[in-house]
Amino acid sequence: MRQLPRPGQRLVAALATTALLALPLTALAAAPAQAATASHPFPSHTTYKLGVMPSASQASRDAAVQKQYDTWKANYLVHGCASNEYYVSTKGDGDATNNGPVSEGQGYGMNIVPLMAGYDANAQTEFNGLWQLVKDHEDQYGLMQWQLDGKTCKYYSSGTPDGATDGDLDIGYGLILADKQWGGYSADAMAWLSAFYAHDVAPDGHLKCEDDGPNTDTRPSDFMLDHLRAFAAYDTTHDWNKVVTRTEAVVNEFTSSYSATGGLLSDFVVNANTTSPSPAPANYQESQPDNIVGYNSIRVPWHLGTDALLYGGSTALAVAKKESACLKGESGGNPQKIYPHTKLDCTAYSTTDQAEEAGDAVGPAAMAAGDQAWTDTLWNYLATNPFGDGYYGESIKMLVYLVMSGDYWAPNGSSSPANDFSVSTSPGSGTVTAGQAASTTVSTAVTSGSAQSVALAATGLPSGATAAFSPASVTAGGSATLTVSTGAATPAGSYPITVTGTAASGSHSTSYTLTVSSSTGGGCTAAQLLVNPGFEGSSATPWTQTSTLGFQPITASTSAEPAHAGTHIAWFDGNATADTDSIAQTVTIPAGCTATLTYWLHVDTTENTTTAKPDTFKVQVLNTAGTVLATPGSFSNLNHNTGYAQQTSDLSAYAGQTVTLKFTGTETDTNGGTTNFVIDDTALNVK
């Protein structure tokens, strides 16, 4: 349940250490001696009923989910208040005192953790701790007290402790996921669903806003139709189909009257027990206002889009299509400009408040709508956090990542893991003199379902080169040798070769970089050696990226940080907190060549100093052992400028060597300001 509007600023307070009563994540006293084997281990690779998937490879999608989970878990999964409890901290959003839990966040955690079992070896222990905290803090109806203090875990909100429908929905769904994943939670799940049905479902079947709330109101952000369908399959003692039917009716009745084109639903709805549900008054329960889309209803395209993907529901699909188009139009195709406060006619109520989750939540709706380009844009946006959002945005992002990656499965079996595989090369690069050949091992693995035959092919070969696989096809789990033979006239340069495996389930690709040097024995063939020098496309390959906060530097450009050319940039720091970001690429500089590194650099800062250098940016050359050989570029917040400036460094001293070029931005946050270092259009020219 969202009770407070979020601050309207670009950079939210850093992920600071708080005074949580936190214990080590390995010390859960009441955990079972050995966790059960996961029945649906991550990654699940679900085949949805309809829609499109992001164009990024399955392997890269899985990796993105893992990275987000690692960050989310490190920042928000807290071991406390009791030794056998875990909770999801509201750090960064102020939804509870001392960054304590709310039932909404506890439900998010109880969905996320079972879905990550198989990747997270401690998932069942963590789930048990999350569930224990819920059981230790039930209200008068046996549902979770919606808001707890982070130190004592005591209910602190005013009045008699009550429960919030969204959190209680997710907690019930999490129990079913856990029962299907590990077994042993059936009695808990059935008892929870019984209490929920008795107190959160109105007599006509619509969802109430809270367990002690009136039978006249509802909140569209609770319209988790995929959860309700799972409840109906799992618990046949209650008429969950009535709840599904009435929820769909409220959606249709409301949108036909108030948002026929956009399919938007307001934060709160009154008269839900009639055939004429309507927007709540502006300040009915909160102050966002409540009669338009706000921080509650931004979740609707995520929930309805997910239901359409998993079940193909006609109501969810129709609304998801409208909302996807509506919000794409509002933003001009820029996810950052999907505003948390949007009027029902698809225009922004306010552009002064922005939040990552407003754009993140649209991804499942775009997938269901079949809009490939918009889906890809939203997928790429997930890798960013442009406004420094905390618990709320990062938790929604985690769940949306699972849906968009295809790793979100329905516990009632409406969707099932499909046959799928991965493909990789080792080594991932090779160097030859023109006329010679290089080899690499192409490995495949079964990632879900059963093994299948995989045919191998290579594209992107340089002129005069040929590729041969031995064998030409393998059964998933097997490997082949790829030999790339160059001709005497093959031009010198660095070439990204795409290796593709194709099976009945589809195709997956990986890359192999071949560097060719001249065979003349003298002179140097002019070439530009860097691959993807402008960071374009959906993949950063072959650039490697690191970030202490989990934000990949290579990202789509924005109006605030435009590209020098193209649509992507490498953006370091700018998070108003201590952070180190880097990108790197390994290249071989041919012997006998002069080498010049160039790149375009833009620096902007809010640091108010003319002498101190709390924020720095370095360009370094490393050898194959990772030792820094030189730092040909060094900048700081003092080098801020109004646009891009081209920088040049002579790297001729490294001709004949394989080196790694590394760009690193470091922000200390010691002065209270923040600095953005942005580069674009790199080049390593030899001649």
Q: What are the catalytic residues?
A: 104, 166
What is the C-alpha to C-alpha distance for residues 252 and 247, in angstroms, rounded to an integer? 9
Q: How far is CA 18 from CA 15, 89, 357, 662, in A?
A: 9, 10, 23, 34
Per-position DSSP letters for 524-582, written without gaps between them: ---EE--SSTT--SS--TT-EEEETTS--SEEE--SSS--SSSSEEEEEE-SSS-EEEE
Which helix (H) or strand (E) is 196 found in, with range?
Answer: helix 186-200
The answer to whether the beta carbons of residues 62 and 70 sit under 8 Å apart is no
Q: Can you count the helices (H) and strands (E) in the chain?
A: 13, 24
- Smallest CA-to-CA distance from 680 within 603, 577, 621 is with 603
What is the C-alpha to C-alpha distance for residues 647 and 630, in angstroms, rounded to an integer? 16
Reduced to 3 states, what is the DSSP secondary structure of residue 667?
Answer: strand
Cα maximum dimension of the chain: 87
The answer to whether the beta carbons of residues 460 and 516 sit under 8 Å apart is no
What is the C-alpha to C-alpha distance for residues 631 and 616, in angstroms, rounded to an integer? 13
Residues with Cβ < 8 Å from 491, sequence gap 6 or more? 434, 462, 463, 516, 525, 527
Per-position DSSP letters for 249-305, written without gaps between them: HHHHHHHHHH-TTT----S-EE-TTSS--EEPPTTSSSSS-TTSB-TTGGGHHHHHH
Q: Output the CA angle 383-124-449, nearest 5 degrees.
A: 70
Reduced to 3 states, what is the DSSP secondary structure of residue 432?
Answer: strand
The answer to whether the beta carbons of residues 266 and 344 sit under 8 Å apart is yes
Q: How far is CA 185 from CA 25, 177, 350, in A?
A: 22, 9, 45
The answer to whether the beta carbons of residues 19 and 580 sit under 8 Å apart is no
What is the C-alpha to C-alpha distance for residues 429 and 588, in angstroms, rounded to an integer? 10
Q: How far is CA 602 from CA 2, 175, 276, 399, 444, in A?
A: 38, 49, 54, 34, 41
How many residues would you count in the chain?
A: 687
Beta bridge partners of 482: 440, 469
The answer to whether the beta carbons of residues 550 and 67 sit under 8 Å apart is yes
